[in-house]
Amino acid sequence: MDILVTGASGYVGGALIPRLLDAGHAVRAFARDPGRVRAPVPVVRGDAVTGTGLDEALDDIDVAYYLIHSMESGPPSPDGFRGRDRQAAERFAAAAADAGVGRIVYLGGLMGSSPHLASRVEVEASLLRAVPDSLALRASIIVGAHSRSFRFLVRLVERLPVVPLPAWRRYRTQPIDGRDVLSYLVAAATADAAGGGERLDLAGPEALTYGEIIARIRDALLVGRATLPLGFTATPLASHVAAAIAGEDHALVGPLMEGLTGDLLARDDRAQRLLGVRLHPFDTAVERALREWEAEEELAAR
């Protein structure tokens, strides 16, 4: 199959391309900065928000992976990242339909009430409407050495002698190994049992509270960090402080922390049944991610 991977310079897109090549597909990448795409595939320079490069990128493509999110700084929009997300999705969807793309595979987030999760639902609706045999996959925290949500949590545990845990520590989610997400994505390109506008939740095998996730990352790092349970959230202030401590962009961290308003759990296990992916346990995923991280950069806590 001829496949297009957008967001090819990001964590998921960059890791997905070698998997698709190994599966025998012909792959083309789409990126604002082709120099950041490491995989040995043709790269089309473009920007989905402005629409530049989309016609060239989608020409003769059978399956297109939409891995674009606009939570960080970007072109001005009256609605901020949500407006950029909407504009990019609508332009990509229209271009894909015009090009005769057979399927779009979109990776978004599990259903929640935050603005960034609501934006992802809008994006998937645009894509599924434009190309009917498409598929939306929804994941929570992806555990991987280059996953920014996972790295954010690791940095907090590594750099804080005492880790404060606001009231959202009691909420549960289902973090998933990055390898399993990639397996789902590869299977989604050709799965006859999926498609047709399916919305499938990708979830790891354990439902954990955010407090448990942080404690198990702490144990994997072999550090004795104390935790300080708090009875409040103060998210607007806390997100700025947490972003500064982790060395991360608040434009990413703020919307993520705003989403910590309740459980983020998979509705069912249909993804595993339809796409046939075997899941790694959380602790195994964390240990592998930390090993890969340490192969490139020293972790002070280890």
User: 74 in a domain, yes or no?
Assistant: yes
* pLDDT for residue 301: 63
Structural domain of residue 122, as residue ranges? 2-142+176-203+265-279
User: 274 in a domain, yes or no?
Assistant: yes
- CATH number where 26 lies: 3.40.50.720
Q: How far apart are CA 101 and CA 115, in angstroms?
A: 29
**How far is the CA of 146 from the CAs of 79, 132, 141, in angstroms?**
28, 32, 12
Reference 181, options 265, 285, 89, 259; nearest CA is: 285
User: 65 in a domain, yes or no?
Assistant: yes
User: 170 in a domain, yes or no?
Assistant: no
pTM of the model: 0.91
Question: What number of other Cβ atoms are within 10 A of residue 73's Cβ?
Answer: 12
The secondary structure of 87-102 as a DSSP string is HHHHHHHHHHHHHT-S
**How far is the CA of 35 from the CAs of 29, 69, 78, 161, in angstroms?**
11, 19, 30, 39
How many independent structural domains does the chain possess?
1
Q: How many residues does the chain have?
A: 302
* pLDDT for residue 302: 55
The secondary structure of 10-70 as a DSSP string is SHHHHHHHHHHHHTT-EEEEEES-GGG--SSS-EEE-BTTTTBTHHHHHTT-SEEEE----
- Contacts of residue 100, defined as CB under 8 A and 6 or more positions apart, other chains included, come to none
* pLDDT for residue 242: 76
* pLDDT for residue 73: 46
Q: How far apart are CA 262 and CA 158, in angstroms?
A: 26
User: 64 in a domain, yes or no?
Assistant: yes
User: 44 in a domain, yes or no?
Assistant: yes
* pLDDT for residue 112: 62
Burial 9-32 (b: 16+ CB within 10 A, else e): bbbbbbbbbeebeeeebebbbbbb
User: 84 in a domain, yes or no?
Assistant: yes
Identify the three-state secondary structure at position 167: helix
* pLDDT for residue 17: 98
* pLDDT for residue 274: 94
pLDDT tens for the 302 residues of the chain, in order = 999 999 999 999 999 999 999 999 999 999 999 999 999 999 999 999 999 999 999 999 999 999 998 654 444 445 666 788 889 999 999 999 999 999 999 999 887 656 656 777 889 999 999 999 999 999 999 999 999 899 999 998 998 888 888 888 899 999 999 999 999 999 999 998 887 889 999 999 999 999 999 999 999 999 888 888 887 676 666 677 777 877 777 766 666 676 677 888 999 999 999 999 999 999 999 999 999 999 998 887 65
* pLDDT for residue 212: 96
Q: How far apart are CA 111 and CA 9, in angstroms?
A: 26
* pLDDT for residue 288: 97
User: 67 in a domain, yes or no?
Assistant: yes
